[in-house]
Structure 1
């Protein structure tokens, strides 16, 4: 019903938006508006493509770019959605939104994120930048540097992404821009007690006072209502890849059979609010000095009601030490094994538990980025200075009510396509649920029956959080350049940079004992089912009412800090560089740059250590390293429209800050001694890289480019178990350690052009291929490729632009893609291939008023994540649905 309503609304809007296209075509046919291309002023998405092409052509590095053109010209809501359409860039959807970026087969940990050339604090525990925090309205452009130069801040082995916000002295667009409208999230439409409509709005003001002073102010607000269902697997009891497990032998053939620990389904009823404020001032003082000040503040809040059902908490499905083999092998029970693991089973009269969970998740994170930049010119000399400060905080809490029931029998199918071949012919309660199209689960009785809910005192309520994370970063930079007018030497430049960063974290944890000894009143509950996969109904209720009735409330105790979770890392970085630009001829004209950047890093990691769960002792560990990073780049002008670029460089990426934590837990009562924790002595990721790019600008607005690259990774970081000697005792410690690296080879092809036979329409296409032998440490028997690796990535846009009307159909694909799930760097999984189809259209009615429609995920492509480098081992199956945005723009 909701899908039909959405389609009908879309059709009506498209009919209105298509009117200008018909008019434009009629005008073209009668010859009234035919113009030469050079006289056409391109706008909107087409202008963005042209601007990005010019940035790429004029750069002296291998770079891809996003050009904002006028404020709000980008077709996407956030810059993250635009980033993933660039060659070799992938993203991960978090609650349905593109978020963090991987580049050239390497994950977000190896991508350096900058804002106006400055490193910024992050609300993630590592260093990763969440790009969705930057609305497209505040972005003037983005440069993605794939080759390295000595004057770029060090820190990206994969590459460097630099967001450029609006500088008012350089801005020539409208003075005032107002934009707003509703957003509809289809996945939440059929969920009870939930409104699937959100909104987006923004206002921007840019004004020049004379030619030498200008200001920019902007505000934006968003409410996101994308509730969605998810079906998840809990991983496997498999001692071949997890030595601490005790795996049973179901078939009796002497070979262990991995069994699932359990599964769960959930619905997240999300309300996410974002408020942002940005501003900038530009001031030219005379002919020699210019100063720019900019600031950005963004706050995200999440209020998320969750309905969950946990299947198998009592261990029935996990078969620890073969203790439940009888359940799998008795009576009508049956199971299906694929690649040594049970992917589907019917467990008859085994009474696997179903834990009904009604929970509340809240999150509040904010980011403040400020900076001042000055430039002084005196003849051939140019001196710049830059001072910046950023601060990010994050506070999040998950609190839950739980009840538990025990249906006699359970069946599940978590195979890759939900079609394992499990024979349920005579099992009517399961046959209707498991239809062989998606992962699913069935029980012989309804676990969500409001009349059968209990909350015994041993099944406590939980509160994880509020967690506290804070990241502060201050940086100072000074650069000097001297220009020359000689035949070969064109410029020398040198500079220094220093930064100080401190990231800290701790968590709270509480439990709440039930005060109700009888069955809970049925009036506290309702239930509902979702259509996106096959599972029993979910128990529903008001979290606050349940918490008060069952536990007398779930207040936060500020002192409930888990001391062992506390850590902080102080990092000081000092950098200096020297660079020279020169030109010459080697049969063809070339321009080039060469230089070296020296980087010294000092870290102090603090935390707490315990031995055999004894008293906690403070730990402080220092580390330092210095690297010389040479780079050279040649740009050969083969002809007026053809260019060949060659770049060589040594690069590094500093370890994730949370993995430098000093906290650890050690055990030596029974041999062999073991432990777990962070690793303050981690060395950075290091690599030598080579880039070659051929670019052919074969027509106006057109490009065909082929780039190939190779990265020889000296060292990388992953989670494994290694011997570590502490106070004379050698422990087998599980945590982050450096690995030996390997090679990464890839190629990227880009093609864009208006069609010669119809220049109002065009195409943008890219495809990237990557091959690597750099591996994670997990699973030990068949390690995953390094985080961020996807063999194939492509994007295809078909666009039309004429007379104020624009339309774009965009397709994004990636092959299976290694990711880190959540905050645990050791939890590496595989994100299955995705095919996302988007559509956007807009019509500029006149100089002041425009309308835009955008529909994301047209084909409702689900997200499937698998575990253990095996596509049959389900991690999660999320269905985000379509998203439709309709907004209106006023500018003058």
Structure 2
């Protein structure tokens, strides 16, 4: 028998966490009803998991998408990002082939917020963006994506708030131990000599309610994942009168890419994730809960690359090379009457062999203590949280100079869907390369740390249509520090020889054979004395300018009422409240006015916002309901864009400056949500939502006038813009076809589609600005599943149309990623009630990633292939 505290307090916590309605009833009665609503659903197979999530969605008093534990545990969900990307209006960017950062309702990672157990978590990225692939699916109990905010939630997500929850040990009547193990096969790894095709993955978890008043949970997940990639990429295009030339000498200058590269990547990503939960009820009135999450990534990747440059025809500097190449120059006329080179060749062309290794270690800790006291009237909650993320990375590149026959004639072509490069066989001959130097670039240590303290009080009231009163405060202190060192090291021992070889890029790519170093680490140690052997230890100006520190203190207070009543005879529940937020920041770093003298600088900034919100759920009939949401929301600017790093030029007639912008104000938006939901059975629904966001201001990279120390400068960097409107709709349909005759009664479908349109743009290019970062007009997902007699299968199709991608480390790197469609599938079979075998495939259509520059599809960027992936394994529970 559970204690009275547990029945009432945990039910109330669930009600508050999910925004569920609170009726005029005694606490024990409410809890009993809540337990019945959530525990009667027997979760077996993917379809039943969707049913459970649908019931939570139906009862929630704000617009929210919910994924349960079993949904995340079903393959092919290696990380929670795989599952999140199937939700309505949610899309994921891929990195190393893995779904990583999220866009919600057309708004990119700059505009969503991540929390764990209700506590904001920090990021190993220089912005605020969280990479969700660091969270193993096996360790997260549930995930909620809130699209319509409530006053008691942490501010910061205009697009949405993603909250990840751990299991509560005392929610179970008996213990559970689960063990999983999988073998991985990455098909592309067989084609890239520096890569490995095989990997492994496993997990162990235990949930143990030792008594009615004390329980714990612990889990650990390990993954050794191959990292494999091949690509060709063009560099950014010249586009100004001062950097273009006239190859055909017709008086019209042509745009062209600066150069390009052919490349492969091979290595591995080793990930360890663990979680721990302790839940204790020392009295009937007090609950104590502690939880901890830890994740560690170790990445080591070899990169073999050919770099080509000099294609840009800088004011006719390459004119002779183009005109005397064996490869014909192709020039097209653009829509604005200009000209662009789409193919050509250069005799005496420039190229270099680059063989690098990327080292990176990421760590994330999120931990906290939560106390809840149920008094006679008031429920009081105190929460203290701590989050720390760090990244140590280093890119070490060994460059080699070509010493073979000359002149070298290299042809290139971007008239198709990817860059093609052709040259004589000498280019790929390993005998024609000599070590030149070693560059250690972006030797970086980044640390992000946050302490949060939150206090909440709530009680039931009988104030007309108000049924519950809640209010509280939150305080957080955050500091993000970024230190960068880069240097070049010459060869110290030239006796090393016979270390190179070559291989074909393959896969239909057109490129010279790539040059590789057989034993990279041995060559680095012998020829350069190791990767820590730089001769000059003095900080260089650019290193100091690239290093920065941002401290941010946030204070918030809120007041909220839960509502229950009738409107024009229609019953409704919901909540209304207001949140006040104040942010104070200090950005410290360096600046220079002459490029030589480096001076420390520090800039303070502050702003405040009042954020009202209203959420209503109107029960039109027993099976259908209407949702209304009104709110003002905000997202703070990316921390990397709040850096200093000023490069000031006082010498020219027009004073110029570049760097970050510590005076940035947040993204702010007023939004409206309107939805209709029809539940025609407990496992079937059709929902439709309209949303509109009026951005009052946004952030992007541009040129503007800014004042430093009383002096006006023409500033290039992040600035605040005037915002604009974002509008769209979402539709979701899910149903289990239990009405069909056997064996087809195990079939089911889960599908959704969202459309988003906006007049909000980035600031570049000036004549044709890109859409706001992360915005895909069309996002859709379709999952077909089948469950029968322990056999569980599903196939998922995810699509997102083209979107703007803003660089995380360098926000001025802005490109367009073409539309992508990926297909994943999985099959599992319950051999017994405790033992299950599983097979899954990811990216079964081998969907590549393609990009282009300047909002112009003809300006080809990257073409990256990651290949298909297969996993086979088992799960054992006892």
TM-fit CA distance, 1:41 = 3.8
TM-fit CA distance, 1:412 = 1.4
TM-fit CA distance, 1:370 = 0.4
2:391 maps to which residue? 394
Q: Name which of 803, 816, 828 aligns with 1:817.
A: 803
1:155 maps to which residue? 156
| 2:860 pairs with 1:862 | no
| 2:560 pairs with 1:579 | yes
Whether the 8 Å contact between 1:237 and 1:247 is mirrored in structure 2 is: yes
CA RMSD, 1 decimal: 2.0
Judging changes above 3 Å, is the alpha-carbon distance between structure 1 residues 560 and 160 closer, same or farther for their aligned structure 2 residues?
farther
TM-fit CA distance, 1:372 = 0.9
After superposition, what is the alpha-carbon deviation per residue over 1:747-794, rounded to whole angstroms, capped at 9, x for unaligned? 000000012324311000000000000000011110000001111000
CA distance in 2, matches of 1:347, 1:100: 39
CA distance in 2, matches of 1:79, 1:178: 18
After superposition, what is the alpha-carbon deviation per residue over 1:812-859, rounded to whole angstroms, capped at 9, x for unaligned? 011101111341112111110111011111111112211111100111
| 2:429 pairs with 1:452 | no
Unmatched segments (≥5 aa) in structure 1: 1-37, 419-437
2:59 maps to which residue? 58
Q: Name which of 623, 633, 638 aligns with 2:620.
A: 638
TM-fit CA distance, 1:139 = 1.1
TM-fit CA distance, 1:497 = 0.3
TM-fit CA distance, 1:330 = 4.1
TM-fit CA distance, 1:98 = 0.5
CA distance in 2, matches of 1:256, 1:670: 28
| 2:672 pairs with 1:674 | no
* Matched residue SS, 2:88: coil
- Structure-to-structure mapping, 1:36-55, within 5 angstroms: 41-55=42-56
1:24 maps to which residue? none
| 2:433 pairs with 1:466 | no
Whether the 8 Å contact between 1:221 and 1:275 is mirrored in structure 2 is: yes
Whether the 8 Å contact between 2:55 and 2:682 is mirrored in structure 1 is: no
| 2:863 pairs with 1:877 | yes
Whether the 8 Å contact between 2:701 and 2:718 is mirrored in structure 1 is: yes
| 2:326 pairs with 1:344 | no
2:780 maps to which residue? 794
| 2:503 pairs with 1:527 | yes
CA distance in 1, matches of 2:289, 2:625: 34
Whether the 8 Å contact between 1:74 and 1:136 is mirrored in structure 2 is: no
1:500 maps to which residue? 477
| 2:343 pairs with 1:329 | no
More displaced, 770-779 or 70-79? 70-79
CA distance in 1, matches of 2:74, 2:865: 30
* Matched residue SS, 1:655: coil
| 2:265 pairs with 1:268 | yes
* Matched residue SS, 1:484: strand
Whether the 8 Å contact between 1:87 and 1:749 is mirrored in structure 2 is: yes
CA distance in 1, matches of 2:395, 2:339: 32
CA distance in 1, matches of 2:650, 2:806: 30
Whether the 8 Å contact between 1:384 and 1:480 is mirrored in structure 2 is: yes
Judging changes above 3 Å, is the alpha-carbon distance between structure 1 residues 92 and 173 closer, same or farther for their aligned structure 2 residues?
farther
CA distance in 1, matches of 2:51, 2:391: 38
Whether the 8 Å contact between 1:528 and 1:540 is mirrored in structure 2 is: no
2:80 maps to which residue? 79
CA distance in 2, matches of 1:626, 1:552: 54
Whether the 8 Å contact between 2:76 and 2:824 is mirrored in structure 1 is: no
CA distance in 1, matches of 2:213, 2:833: 27
- Structure-to-structure mapping, 1:404-423, within 5 angstroms: 404-405=401-402, 408-415=408-415, 417-418=416-417
CA distance in 2, matches of 1:411, 1:331: 8
Unmatched segments (≥5 aa) in structure 2: 1-38
CA distance in 2, matches of 1:677, 1:539: 37
TM-fit CA distance, 1:407 = 5.7
CA distance in 2, matches of 1:191, 1:363: 21
Judging changes above 3 Å, is the alpha-carbon distance between structure 1 residues 529 and 331 closer, same or farther for their aligned structure 2 residues?
closer
CA distance in 2, matches of 1:40, 1:61: 22
CA distance in 2, matches of 1:155, 1:686: 10
TM-fit CA distance, 1:39 = 10
After superposition, what is the alpha-carbon deviation per residue over 1:549-586, rounded to whole angstroms, capped at 9, x for unaligned? 43333325595652222210110000000011122212
Whether the 8 Å contact between 2:230 and 2:505 is mirrored in structure 1 is: no
2:679 maps to which residue? 697
After superposition, what is the alpha-carbon deviation per residue over 1:22-44, rounded to whole angstroms, capped at 9, x for unaligned? xxxxxxxxxxxxxxxx9994413
Q: Name which of 484, 508, 515 aligns with 2:461.
A: 484
Whether the 8 Å contact between 2:687 and 2:731 is mirrored in structure 1 is: yes
- Structure-to-structure mapping, 1:840-855, within 5 angstroms: 840-855=826-841
1:751 maps to which residue? 733
CA distance in 1, matches of 2:157, 2:127: 14
* Matched residue SS, 2:124: coil
1:716 maps to which residue? 698
1:381 maps to which residue? 378
CA distance in 1, matches of 2:305, 2:196: 19
2:33 maps to which residue? none
Whether the 8 Å contact between 1:346 and 1:409 is mirrored in structure 2 is: no
Whether the 8 Å contact between 1:328 and 1:345 is mirrored in structure 2 is: no
TM-fit CA distance, 1:173 = 7.5
CA distance in 2, matches of 1:280, 1:336: 64
CA distance in 2, matches of 1:635, 1:346: 62
Whether the 8 Å contact between 1:223 and 1:272 is mirrored in structure 2 is: yes
Judging changes above 3 Å, is the alpha-carbon distance between structure 1 residues 171 and 612 closer, same or farther for their aligned structure 2 residues?
farther
After superposition, what is the alpha-carbon deviation per residue over 1:414-463, rounded to whole angstroms, capped at 9, x for unaligned? 23x34xxxxxxxxxxxxxxxxxxx532111233121211123xxx43200
2:352 maps to which residue? 355
After superposition, what is the alpha-carbon deviation per residue over 1:54-81, rounded to whole angstroms, capped at 9, x for unaligned? 1211100011111113883464110011
Whether the 8 Å contact between 2:79 and 2:135 is mirrored in structure 1 is: yes
Whether the 8 Å contact between 1:51 and 1:69 is mirrored in structure 2 is: no
CA distance in 2, matches of 1:748, 1:825: 30
| 2:295 pairs with 1:289 | no
TM-score by length of 2: 0.91
2:245 maps to which residue? 248
Whether the 8 Å contact between 1:364 and 1:395 is mirrored in structure 2 is: yes
Q: Name which of 720, 724, 729 aligns with 1:738.
A: 720
Judging changes above 3 Å, is the alpha-carbon distance between structure 1 residues 232 and 407 closer, same or farther for their aligned structure 2 residues?
farther
Judging changes above 3 Å, is the alpha-carbon distance between structure 1 residues 158 and 275 closer, same or farther for their aligned structure 2 residues?
same
TM-fit CA distance, 1:261 = 0.6
* Matched residue SS, 2:307: strand
TM-fit CA distance, 1:385 = 1.2
Judging changes above 3 Å, is the alpha-carbon distance between structure 1 residues 795 and 460 closer, same or farther for their aligned structure 2 residues?
same
CA distance in 2, matches of 1:171, 1:881: 41
More displaced, 638-647 or 482-491? 482-491
TM-fit CA distance, 1:50 = 1.4
Whether the 8 Å contact between 1:407 and 1:447 is mirrored in structure 2 is: no
CA distance in 1, matches of 2:121, 2:455: 17
Judging changes above 3 Å, is the alpha-carbon distance between structure 1 residues 331 and 679 closer, same or farther for their aligned structure 2 residues?
closer
- Structure-to-structure mapping, 1:658-669, within 5 angstroms: 658-669=640-651
* Matched residue SS, 1:326: helix
CA distance in 2, matches of 1:65, 1:171: 20
* Matched residue SS, 2:698: strand
Whether the 8 Å contact between 1:689 and 1:712 is mirrored in structure 2 is: yes
TM-fit CA distance, 1:254 = 3.4
More displaced, 46-55 or 725-734? 725-734
Judging changes above 3 Å, is the alpha-carbon distance between structure 1 residues 454 and 282 closer, same or farther for their aligned structure 2 residues?
same
Judging changes above 3 Å, is the alpha-carbon distance between structure 1 residues 373 and 728 closer, same or farther for their aligned structure 2 residues?
closer
- Structure-to-structure mapping, 1:643-658, within 5 angstroms: 643-658=625-640
Judging changes above 3 Å, is the alpha-carbon distance between structure 1 residues 70 and 686 closer, same or farther for their aligned structure 2 residues?
closer
Whether the 8 Å contact between 1:186 and 1:226 is mirrored in structure 2 is: no
CA distance in 1, matches of 2:682, 2:813: 47
* Matched residue SS, 1:752: strand
CA distance in 2, matches of 1:367, 1:539: 37
CA distance in 1, matches of 2:674, 2:864: 39
